[in-house]
A and B are shown apart, each in its own frame.
Chain A
Amino acid sequence: MNRFTWQSALFLAPATITLLLFAYWPLLQDVWLSFHSWNMVSPTMKFVGLQNYLQLLSSDELIKILLNTVLYILVLVCVNFILPYLLSFIIAHRLNRFSFFYRSALFIPSTVSLAVASILFLWILNPLAGPLNIILSAIGLESPRWFKESGLVIIIIGLIIGWKVFGYNLILLAAAMVDVPKELIEAARLENVSNWQLFRRIIVPMTSSTALYVFVITVVFGLQYVLVPVNMLTQGGPDQGSTNLVYIVYQYGFVFFQTGKASAFAILTMLIYALFLIVKTKVLDKKVHYEN
């Protein structure tokens, strides 16, 4: 089975070469950059050794950035994983009618670009002139300054990303839900099993492989999506209240033109992602039921 053949190597080559050239080579370059001080234009690059890493690890902003990142993950997992998971169960198994309508209606927002969604939310949430404020003031409440309150700003940006991701995740999860054999569910019904038991004992184990995949992309892609709304709406503000591991790389690289520190942050980000994926493989994968 493991026989090496030229044909198979040839078939693998396009994918392998592209991957090496566009994923691993830039990664190596990034490591190299992180040991230098360079502003992207200057013809001379100064070698500074570990200085970028030392500055990064000793700075006050690191704690804030990591904390924000964790907050983002919590919001994103709630909005884009837990919520669509529950909804997809309802759509696939508890709804008898209109399930097609709900699926399409909930999917449509993910075709809208994040930039458009950002502008839309900026208008909806305008603390003085936006529609939400009109509703709030009608019931005697004052609209918060959504994009200027630390904490709140992360929730709002998480919701904007939800526009992009929610519908797609919902469709993936709904597909997995539909795949759960009807016989199993009907058998359970005959035994008078409660909805919660049905969900807990049958649906969760049977959909665990898709759920894990959705969970991983929610975290990994979700954090990257943060860049667009943050860059458009807050530029990391208020007082770095909406920055995170991904935006800070962009800010150091393309706002401050300090590529060395940006690369160091990028490496740190990658290590954290790697840690996340190791935990996923070692711990979560074991609890997952793969059909094949």
Chain B
Amino acid sequence: MKKITQLVALLCIGAFTIAALGCGNSQNASSKTPSKVMIEYWHVNAESFGGPSVKQLVEQFNKENPDIEVVEKYNPDMYKGLTQNLQAAMASGKNPDVVQMGYSYLNYAGENLKYASIPDIITKLSPEDNTYLQDNFLPNVLALATTDDGKQIGLPYSVSVPVLYYNPDVFKQAGLDPNQPPRTWQQVTQYAKTIKEKTGIMGFFMQEYADNWAQQALIESNGGQILAKKDGRTMAGFDTPEASEAYQVLADMVKNGDGLHATNEEAFQAFLSGKIGMVCTTIGKRDNFEKSAKFTVMATQFPSFEGKTRKLPAGGNLLMIFSQDPDKQKAAWRFVKFLESPGALALWSKGTGYLPPRKGVTEDPQGLKDFAEQNKNMQVAMSQMPEVVKWASFPGANGLQAEQALIDVRDIILSGKQSAADALKQAAAKINSML
């Protein structure tokens, strides 16, 4: 018995010694020869949502830059999930280096997360890139990654706009011309009705993700707004006739049975198997839709309200850097520049359907020139770029809870429990008491 104890003790000591030696060795090695800088890249791209493109880009970068090793990490549940993981990681002191951050989290991230400012990194570590931002990005696009207090917290990376997808086979079945898709919301209502009456197929669905992005496009294109500034304070701005009128269009379609109110996944499944005529969602789903559907998916511009300017919130994400160590910051900046290069952006756009944020990618033969000419759905989305506005995000510590209140209201309105006007008024009061 005693012998065994001694043996175990000996083995333990041995293991510790080896471990200690191992540590010493690796430290020595890193100080002598410049070892690889490891950086982590966090993204939200599942296999069906650009995941393979992320892997391809990271692989390409690692091959071209032997001194840097990028490790990509997928975060489920979109930007909400990513932000949760990010906060948890930072609380335990292990932050990633490059992160995709949703535009709707812009102000929240600026106020609450300890990020490394890209303009600062450029001035300190990479002065040759001094004019990079101005040279390559339009001012209104750069503004997508600028917080309300004017800080450039990252670089716009993926830009998506809502479009109206439709199933041309269903259109033909209903006696509608697939080359004459609806242009206004009035027409969408009519088309949805015709489809339902003639074919029995559901007419229309607007995305119901855990955010209010598409609904913002609807409200703001009718002259309403999500946020309003009153006496320097940001308040809920959607308790107006314009906003409720726009929302009511949606509610009426659901009430008449021409529109669908269901979870996002259910509706997309149904659309892809030919059970819905029109779906209003992000251009980011283009590639997935085109590949998974049994019919030719067609897209048209987000419908407008008669005589009013369209305002489409930019969905997608910006790239933020969270590295604290200068070596890692420099590596992270190089990786960001790679992701923002025309070739990489072209690959990214093809794989996801996101629009490139940078000037000239669509004209660049190395970029998207051929692709844009071939893919009509992509052209439709790009033609909407001048109408892009910021995605509204509620400020302050209760911002995310306020967003949830607006999501809850969507269920109330679409289930027909209350009229859009009443429900939005109540939600605005609730949100204002939170902010």
Contact A256 B273 (CB under 8 A): no
Given A41-B113, A148-B415, A256-B404: A127 and B84 within 8 A (CB)? no
Closest 4 CB pairs of A and B: A238-B411, A128-B270, A128-B275, A239-B411
Please report the C-alpha to C-alpha distance between residue A66 and residue B417 in the assembled complex, in whole angstroms.
21
Q: Provide the A232-243 mask, 1 if CB < 8 A to any CB of B, else 0.
A: 011101111100
Q: How far is the CB of B409 from chain A (nearest CB, A)?
A: 8
Q: Provide the A155-189 mask, 1 if CB < 8 A to any CB of B, else 0.
A: 00000000000000000000000000000000000
Contact B91 A148 (CB under 8 A): no
- In B77-120, the 8 Å CB interface with A consists of 80, 84, 87-88, 90-91, 112-114
Q: How far is the CB of B406 from chain A (nearest CB, A)?
A: 11
B202: CB under 8 A from chain A?
yes
24 A-B interface contacts by CB (under 8 A): A39-B87, A41-B90, A126-B270, A127-B260, A128-B275, A129-B275, A145-B260, A147-B262, A148-B415, A233-B263, A234-B263, A237-B411, A239-B417, A240-B408, A241-B411, A254-B84, A255-B84, A256-B398, A256-B401, A256-B404, A257-B112, A257-B397, A258-B397, A258-B401
Contact A128 B202 (CB under 8 A): yes
A106: CB under 8 A from chain B?
no
Contact B91 A40 (CB under 8 A): yes
Contact B87 A41 (CB under 8 A): yes
Q: Provide the B267-284 mask, 1 if CB < 8 A to any CB of A, else 0.
A: 101100101100000000
Which A residues lie within 8 Å of B260 (CB)?
127-128, 145
Residue of A nearest to B266 (CB): A126
Please report the C-alpha to C-alpha distance between residue A122 and residue B263 in the assembled complex, in whole angstroms.
9
Please report the C-alpha to C-alpha distance between residue A129 and residue B167 in the assembled complex, in whole angstroms.
15
Please report the C-alpha to C-alpha distance between residue A233 and residue B264 in the assembled complex, in whole angstroms.
9
A47: CB under 8 A from chain B?
no
Contact A148 B84 (CB under 8 A): no
B58: CB under 8 A from chain A?
no
B400: CB under 8 A from chain A?
yes
Please report the C-alpha to C-alpha distance between residue A257 and residue B400 in the assembled complex, in whole angstroms.
8
A42: CB under 8 A from chain B?
yes
Please report the C-alpha to C-alpha distance between residue A39 and residue B87 in the assembled complex, in whole angstroms.
9
Residue of A nearest to B90 (CB): A41
- In A12-47, the 8 Å CB interface with B consists of 37, 39-42
Q: How far is the CB of B337 from chain A (nearest CB, A)?
A: 28
B407: CB under 8 A from chain A?
yes
Contact A127 B112 (CB under 8 A): no
Please report the C-alpha to C-alpha distance between residue A103 and residue B270 in the assembled complex, in whole angstroms.
36
Contact A39 B112 (CB under 8 A): yes
- In A107-149, the 8 Å CB interface with B consists of 122-123, 125-130, 145, 147-149
Please count how many residues in chain A sit with their CB below 8 Å of the partner chain's CB atoms: 31
Partner of B400, one of A130, A235, A237, A256: A256
- In B380-435, the 8 Å CB interface with A consists of 397-398, 400-401, 404, 407-409, 411-412, 414-415, 417
B210: CB under 8 A from chain A?
yes
Residue of B nearest to A46 (CB): B397
Please report the C-alpha to C-alpha distance between residue A241 and residue B414 in the assembled complex, in whole angstroms.
14
Q: How far is the CB of A33 from chain B (nearest CB, A)?
A: 13
Given A39-B112, A235-B210, A239-B408: A127 and B262 within 8 A (CB)? yes
Contact A129 B407 (CB under 8 A): no
Please report the C-alpha to C-alpha distance between residue A42 and residue B398 in the assembled complex, in whole angstroms.
14
Contact A39 B270 (CB under 8 A): no
- In B175-222, the 8 Å CB interface with A consists of 202, 210
Residue of B nearest to A252 (CB): B401
Contact A255 B263 (CB under 8 A): no
Between A130, A233, A239, A254, the greatest number of chain B beta carbons within 10 A of the residue's beta carbon is seen for A239
Please report the C-alpha to C-alpha distance between residue A231 and residue B210 in the assembled complex, in whole angstroms.
11
- In A199-237, the 8 Å CB interface with B consists of 233-235, 237
Q: How far is the CB of B375 from chain A (nearest CB, A)?
A: 27
Contact B397 A147 (CB under 8 A): no
Between B91, B263, B276, the greatest number of chain A beta carbons within 10 A of the residue's beta carbon is seen for B263
B327: CB under 8 A from chain A?
no
Please report the C-alpha to C-alpha distance between residue A244 and residue B202 in the assembled complex, in whole angstroms.
32
Contact B404 A123 (CB under 8 A): no
Which A residues lie within 8 Å of B84 (CB)?
254-255, 257
Q: How far is the CB of A119 from chain B (nearest CB, A)?
A: 9
B261: CB under 8 A from chain A?
yes
Which B residues lie within 8 Å of A145 (CB)?
260-262
Please report the C-alpha to C-alpha distance between residue A233 and residue B270 in the assembled complex, in whole angstroms.
16
Q: How far is the CB of A240 from chain B (nearest CB, A)?
A: 6
- In B229-280, the 8 Å CB interface with A consists of 260-263, 265-267, 269-270, 273, 275-276
Which B residues lie within 8 Å of A42 (CB)?
112
What 15 new A-B contacts, CB under 8 Å, besides A40-B87, A128-B260? A39-B112, A41-B112, A122-B266, A126-B270, A128-B270, A129-B275, A145-B260, A147-B266, A148-B261, A148-B415, A233-B263, A239-B412, A240-B408, A256-B398, A257-B87
Partner of A129, one of B269, B397, B404: B269
- In A258-277, the 8 Å CB interface with B consists of 258
Please report the C-alpha to C-alpha distance between residue A148 and residue B275 in the assembled complex, in whole angstroms.
18
Please report the C-alpha to C-alpha distance between residue A251 and residue B210 in the assembled complex, in whole angstroms.
13
Q: How far is the CB of A150 from chain B (nearest CB, A)?
A: 8
Which B residues lie within 8 Å of A238 (CB)?
408, 411, 415
Partner of B269, one of A126, A235, A254, A256: A126
Contact B80 A129 (CB under 8 A): no
- In B261-313, the 8 Å CB interface with A consists of 261-263, 265-267, 269-270, 273, 275-276
Which A residues lie within 8 Å of B404 (CB)?
251, 255-256
Please report the C-alpha to C-alpha distance between residue A122 and residue B270 in the assembled complex, in whole angstroms.
12
Q: How far is the CB of B405 from chain A (nearest CB, A)?
A: 10
Q: How far is the CB of A110 from chain B (nearest CB, A)?
A: 24
Given A128-B266, A237-B411: A39 and B397 within 8 A (CB)? yes
Between A41, A125, A234, the greatest number of chain B beta carbons within 10 A of the residue's beta carbon is seen for A41
Q: How far is the CB of B167 from chain A (nearest CB, A)?
A: 13
Contact B270 A40 (CB under 8 A): no
